[in-house]
A and B are shown apart, each in its own frame.
Chain A
Amino acid sequence: MPFEMSRAAFVVALLAASPAFATDAFVSNEKGNTISVIDVESMMLKTTIPVGQRPRGLAVSSDGKTVYVALGDADQIAAIDTKSLSVSDTFDAGRDPERIETSPDGKTLYVTNEDSNTLTFFNLETKERLGGARLGVEPEGLAVSPDGKTVVATTETTNMAHFVDAERRKILANVLVDARPRMAAFTPDGKEVWVSAEIGGSISIIDAQTRKIVERIRFEVPGLRAENVQPVGINISHDGTLAFVSLGPANRMAVVDVKSRKVLKYLLVGQRVWHAAFTPDDKFLLTANGISNDVSVIDVGALKVVKSIQVGESPWELVIPGPAKP
């Protein structure tokens, strides 16, 4: 009996010592044709995975076991196993896939094809193309509503946010936003869609129900010319209180209070920051800086940049798989 007890205690100690979920951040290096893997615990580069030509968009499977990579020049999607950290599968994705997202149920992959002006739907189990929706010119930004019913895609040249029915794959509405919309994001409650405009220098907040713009946020970094302030990435914290907007060549992240729409702070990160991702606990936000080839780590509680980590050439997007969604 005492032997049993001590063995049980040993197992408990072991479990306590090893983290329940090892978190890694995956960064797509557009020009390096690789994925850099950062250990989030130590904030150090762990390994580099070679993938095909021009990796940009990234998405995580709903069980957190796979990271999908859109390979723009290879016209393919690569699947990376988050445990073995190697490419486990590739499949064709239509012409020039740029950004990708998974549906909340994990069954469908949405792809914006920049060259062919479509939003393509893939069955993730069979890797088959289910169909597509014709969009405006140069689709890029992609967001899926928390209930999985609506997909929002933005088109850079048409300056629109297209609301697409996820099941029927039909356009429900087109909302005209400011020039060159790059990214869309739902608030966690699903009530609003935020759309960034790179040239317009703004964020348009769209009511997800009425599909009308309810508010616009503009950015002004002291000492910087307005044309250098180019909002691209939008990351809203899981609790829905803070939004971090990447300002591209302004080398800064704007911190926005979601409720009051006020910009609280501008944080200096690396050069040409586009996309970013929160750690699953929302404690840190990691940004991919395309020109300085590094990832900056923001302490979300303190609103401070604590570190920058060198990664591959031209980091584009970044995802951090969390534990499996219930």
Chain B
Amino acid sequence: MTLAAYAICLKGIIWREGLRFLHQRERFVSALVRPLVWLFIFAAGFRQVLGISIIPPYETYILYEVYITPGLLAMIQLFNGMQSSLSMVYDREMGNMRVLLLSPFPRWFLLFGKLIAGTLVSVSQCYAYLLIAWLWDIEAPPLGYLTVLPAFFLVGLMLGALGMLLSSLIKQLENFAGVMNFVIFPMFFASSALYPLWRVKEGSPWVYYICQINPFTHAVELIRFALYTQFNPLAFAVVFGCTLVFMLGAIVAYDPSRGLMTLRGAPGAAA
């Protein structure tokens, strides 16, 4: 197969994801409403509660809504990653997945294509959020809006791959609530998204250690530093490493000959 054929296939996958996204306007709105509710309501209440301390990459005192913006951006990407995993479960139940996986292209490429498509959607949501935040007087340095793009992309890939790996474990659509409980909430709350880690450490060293090993913390920090035109090597290493592990895991899990799907029984037969 030629490179051009690969390109056509990739375009097809991205196009489908894009169309699906455009046709579900509620999804775009809800993806934005969620972080905006946090920003306007949650952050407003916590404005005075949070102690003041200057931590990198900030060079001066910041309001709480400025602090949680990178966390909310990562939250958009987290939900988007889980949403695409939800859509994969749906596709599997409906049989669309079989059509995709029957294609002559290697399976890793198909899954990777789907990952890229999902990431593009989440990046566009992030920029829409940044625009609204900008209107709300939450501004990053102008160059930061460019330097944050690679961070968005890598974080989108990591969380998308995680969602994909999880989707191979979920037999039915109804089980998605479990993902919410056991993945999204712990990942989001046990991270640096809502509070700086030094503050978490004051409360409980144990929670602090959990936050430290949570890849989502590093996703948030990668975005936070990139938004202020800085590079955080540790966060990059963790996010990059996790992306590779999750992606490999997803490829193995979706391999029909040895994947988890065969072990757990075919989707149709399971019911």
- Chain A residues at the B interface, C-beta cutoff of 8 Å: 223-224, 251, 268-271, 292, 296-297, 304-308
Residues of A within 8 A of B139 (CB): 304
Determine if B61 and A223 form an interchain contact, defined as CB atoms under 8 angstroms apart: no
Query: Given that A271-B52, A292-B52, A308-B54 are contacting pairs, would A223 and B47 also be in contact in the complex, using a CB cutoff of 8 Å?
Result: yes
Residues of A within 8 A of B44 (CB): 223
Nearest-neighbor residue (CB-CB) of A224 within chain B: B48
The answer to whether B60 has its CB under 8 Å from any CB of chain A is yes
> Shortest CB–CB separation between residue B138 and chain A, in angstroms?
12
Determine if A268 and B62 form an interchain contact, defined as CB atoms under 8 angstroms apart: yes
- Chain B residues at the A interface, C-beta cutoff of 8 Å: 44, 47-48, 52, 54, 59-63, 139
Residues of B within 8 A of A304 (CB): 139
Nearest-neighbor residue (CB-CB) of A291 within chain B: B52
- Report the bound CA distance from A288 to B59 in whole Å: 16
Known pairs A269-B61, A304-B139, A308-B60; list 4 more (Cβ under 8 Å): A268-B60, A270-B61, A308-B59, A308-B61
Residues of A within 8 A of B59 (CB): 306-308
- Report the bound CA distance from A270 to B61 in whole Å: 7
- Report the bound CA distance from A270 to B60 in whole Å: 8
Determine if B60 and A251 form an interchain contact, defined as CB atoms under 8 angstroms apart: no
Residues of A within 8 A of B52 (CB): 251, 270-271, 292
> Shortest CB–CB separation between residue A118 and chain B, in angstroms?
38
Nearest-neighbor residue (CB-CB) of B61 within chain A: A268
Residues of A within 8 A of B54 (CB): 308
Residues of B within 8 A of A305 (CB): 60-61
> Shortest CB–CB separation between residue B181 and chain A, in angstroms?
33
Nearest-neighbor residue (CB-CB) of B139 within chain A: A304
16 contacts between A and B (CB under 8 A): A223-B48, A224-B48, A251-B52, A251-B61, A268-B61, A269-B60, A270-B52, A270-B61, A296-B61, A297-B60, A305-B61, A306-B59, A306-B60, A308-B54, A308-B60, A308-B61
Determine if B63 and A268 form an interchain contact, defined as CB atoms under 8 angstroms apart: yes
The listed residue with most A CB atoms (<10 A of its CB), out of B47, B59, B139, is B59
- Report the bound CA distance from A114 to B57 in whole Å: 42
The listed residue with most A CB atoms (<10 A of its CB), out of B47, B52, B54, B61, is B61
> Shortest CB–CB separation between residue A308 and chain B, in angstroms?
4
- Report the bound CA distance from A237 to B62 in whole Å: 25
The listed residue with most A CB atoms (<10 A of its CB), out of B47, B48, B62, B63, is B48
Residues of B within 8 A of A269 (CB): 60-61
> Shortest CB–CB separation between residue B175 and chain A, in angstroms?
42
- Report the bound CA distance from A229 to B44 in whole Å: 19
Candidates B48, B60, B63; contact of A307 at CB < 8 Å: B60
- Report the bound CA distance from A223 to B43 in whole Å: 11
The 4 closest A-B CB pairs, nearest first, are A308-B60, A307-B59, A305-B60, A223-B47
> Shortest CB–CB separation between residue B12 and chain A, in angstroms?
46
- Report the bound CA distance from A223 to B62 in whole Å: 15
Nearest-neighbor residue (CB-CB) of A302 within chain B: B139
> Shortest CB–CB separation between residue B217 and chain A, in angstroms?
25
Residues of B within 8 A of A271 (CB): 52
> Shortest CB–CB separation between residue A263 and chain B, in angstroms?
15
Residues of A within 8 A of B61 (CB): 251, 268-270, 296, 305, 308
Residues of B within 8 A of A307 (CB): 59-60
